[in-house]
Amino acid sequence: MDFEAELNLTLRARYPLIYIPSAEEERVEAIITNVAKSLGRSIFIWDFVDGYQSNPTDAGMGKRNPLQALEFVDKVPKGAVFVLRDFDRFLEDVAIARKLKNLARKLKSEAQNIIVIASQINIPDSLSEFFSILEFPLPNPNELKTEIEQIASSANSNNDIQLDKKAIDDLVRAGQGLSLERIRRVLAKAIAENGRLHPDDVELILEEKRQSIRQTQILEFYPSTTEISDIGGLDNLKEWLLRRGSAFSDRARKYGLPHPRGLLLAGIQGTGKSLTAKAISHHWHLPLLRLDVGRLFAGLVGESESRTRQMVQLAEALSPCVLWIDEIDKAFAGVEGRGDSGTTNRVFGTFLTWMAEKTSPVFVVATANNIRTLPPELLRKGRFDEVFFVGLPNQDERSQIFAVHLSKYRPHNTRAYDIDRLAYETIDFSGAEIEQGIIEAMHIGFSQNRDFTTDDILEAASQIVPLAQTAQQEIQVLQEWAASGKARLASRQNVFRG
């Protein structure tokens, strides 16, 4: 059911108090007005600065007086919808709360509704049972297409060049996840610069999208140029990914194949889990969104849950995409024992429900260093398509990792290095530690005005104490967990020994 149909049903069902969290005030009000008119209802719109505005007779009523705005509701005959902008700011006031409770009883019998529009959910506990929350989605592709076609038709009417279907589709795809107001602003900027819309304006929209995502302070639009070939070893994992390379295509939908749900990569630090998330995005040609789970948690009651819903809404609006959740174990470890009045539990529950029920093509890649601290509900089948254990690389994999890094730093001189010897001498080194050894060797060579050598790398490696030694006990626990069959091994060969 789309938002307009849901709002229509909610009004007809005589829900007295409705709360719509959205920053798209103009678009929400346009839909409310259409629905109210279709039901034969009059509509009154109030804000703190100008009071009621929609009816000339009552213009200015309740100006800078939210209680008077509610008292006005008592004076209006049956069959009206009252829209209160930013009214969440006043809900903590005892007089406002009491008046809303009184109105909630009365309005049910009079076919009248109060709708609060606010940028985020901010309902005190005393009123939570009285309000019904309607989530307002970002514009869908059809809405974006209609808007872009209208703007393009108007802007290009004086030019011989018209945008073809592919250009329109590219602009629509780039605009997914943005509000209509942001789309209008960025296209107005393009028209002001060039006098018309052009297929290359996709880049302007993408930059606006990056800015929009940054402003949420929850998700980060992460550019990725990492390829599958940049990952050394992990053959089982790479084969699994390559097999699903076309799983988001129209051909896969026609075949009846469901969208892949996600992947949990558990294992030792520095073994390529984050690198894999970036490679998936690049190989599948999907945008990569990085979620810092810690940013979901906020100080105000209800704000953490609101941020979680905002994250879900934005990820789904940008789909198909890859949602990368780095170090998920740090956010949800021991949720039952958190002393935060249940906030972590509620956020975790919202996230789990979405993971289990989502139908949108959002591929979740979660990484964890300490899998044993995660709640078992997260590991249950249906949340992720697969759980992979990424262990320390064996000798063959270390050879591949050295080859990858040396081809990056010395692409024309890789054969000058004894890769087999390097792999043999770096037992229990992770991929990150191997790269650090090469960088340290480069410093050695640079300080002596010469190129670095195999011996320089070995000398640098001898100064590195690998994590396998400093965290030996923790790594052993992880390896035993993987060996018990609770996860699929990312490597074909034995991951537990060099």
Amino acid 223: pLDDT? 77
Token pair for residue 489?
């091994």
Classify burial at 134, counting beta carbons within 10 Å of its beta carbon; exposed 0-12, middle 13-18, buried 19 or more: middle
Classify burial at 442, counting beta carbons within 10 Å of its beta carbon; exposed 0-12, middle 13-18, buried 19 or more: middle
Long-range contacts of 37-44 (CB under 8 A, 24+ apart): 38/8, 39/8, 39/11, 39/12, 40/79, 41/11, 41/79, 41/80, 41/81, 41/111, 42/76, 42/79, 42/80, 42/81, 43/80, 43/81, 43/82, 43/83, 44/72, 44/76, 44/80, 44/81, 44/82, 44/83
Q: Where are the chain's structural domains?
A: 3-133, 141-216, 228-390, 395-427+431-465
Q: Is the dihedral of CA 172, 175, 177, 181 positive or negative?
A: negative
Cis peptide before 77 (omega within 30 of 0): no
Query: Is it true that 3-133 and 228-390 share their CATH fold?
Result: yes
Of the candidates 353, 419, 411, the one whose C-alpha atom is nearest the C-alpha of residue 383 is 353
Beta pairing, strands 51-52 & 42-47: antiparallel
State CA 343 to chain mean position distance. 20
The DSSP line for 277-308 is HHHHHHHHT--EEEE-GGGG--SSTTHHHHHH
User: How many C-beta atoms lie closer than 10 Å to residue 307's C-beta?
Assistant: 20
C-alpha 332/C-alpha 379 separation (Å) is: 12
Amino acid 435: pLDDT? 93
The torsion region of residue 360 among left (phi > 0), alpha (psi -120 to 50) and beta comes to beta
Contact 288, 281 (CB under 8 A): yes
pLDDT tens for the chain, 498 residues long, are 689 999 999 999 999 999 999 989 999 999 999 999 999 999 999 999 999 987 777 778 889 999 999 999 988 888 899 999 999 999 999 999 999 999 999 998 888 999 999 988 889 989 989 999 998 988 888 888 888 888 888 776 665 556 778 888 888 888 888 888 888 888 888 888 878 888 888 888 878 877 877 777 788 888 777 888 888 888 999 999 988 888 888 788 889 988 889 999 988 888 888 889 889 988 888 888 998 877 777 655 567 777 888 888 888 888 888 999 988 887 776 665 555 557 778 888 888 888 888 888 899 999 988 877 788 888 877 789 999 999 889 999 999 999 999 999 999 989 999 999 999 999 989 999 999 999 999 999 999 999 999 999 999 999 999 888 888 888 888 888 888 877 888 987 654 444
CATH number 3.40.50.300 is the correct assignment for the domain at 3-133: yes
Contact 488, 389 (CB under 8 A): yes
Token pair for residue 208?
């606006």
**Number of DSSP helices (H) and strands (E) in the chain, helices first:** 21, 13
Amino acid 445: pLDDT? 94
Amino acid 294: pLDDT? 76
pLDDT digits 0-9 by tens, 178-214: 888 888 888 888 888 878 888 888 888 878 877 877 7
Name every residue whose Cβ is closer than 8 Å to that of residue 402 and which is 6 or more positions away in sequence: 232, 417, 419, 422, 423, 434, 438
C-alpha 278/C-alpha 230 separation (Å) is: 10
The CATH label, of 3.40.50.300, 3.40.50.880, 3.20.10.10, 1.10.390.10, for the domain at 228-390 is: 3.40.50.300
Contact 81, 34 (CB under 8 A): no
Token pair for residue 214?
């940054």
Of the candidates 385, 375, 322, the one whose C-alpha atom is nearest the C-alpha of residue 352 is 375
At residue 475, the 3 state secondary structure works out as: helix
Query: What topology does CATH give the domain 395-427+431-465?
Result: Helicase, Ruva Protein; domain 3 (1.10.8)
Alpha helices in 53-198 (DSSP H): 66-75, 94-107, 141-155, 165-175, 180-194
Amino acid 158: pLDDT? 62
Q: Helices 431-447 and 454-462: crossing angle, nearest 10°?
A: 120
Tokens 């809303």 — which residue?
100
pLDDT digits 0-9 by tens, 294-342: 777 765 556 777 788 888 888 888 888 899 998 888 777 666 555 555 7
State CA 148 to chain mean position distance. 24
Q: What phi and psi, each to the nearest 5 degrees, are found at residue 320?
A: -70, 135
Alpha helices in 257-394 (DSSP H): 273-284, 303-317, 328-332, 343-357, 376-379
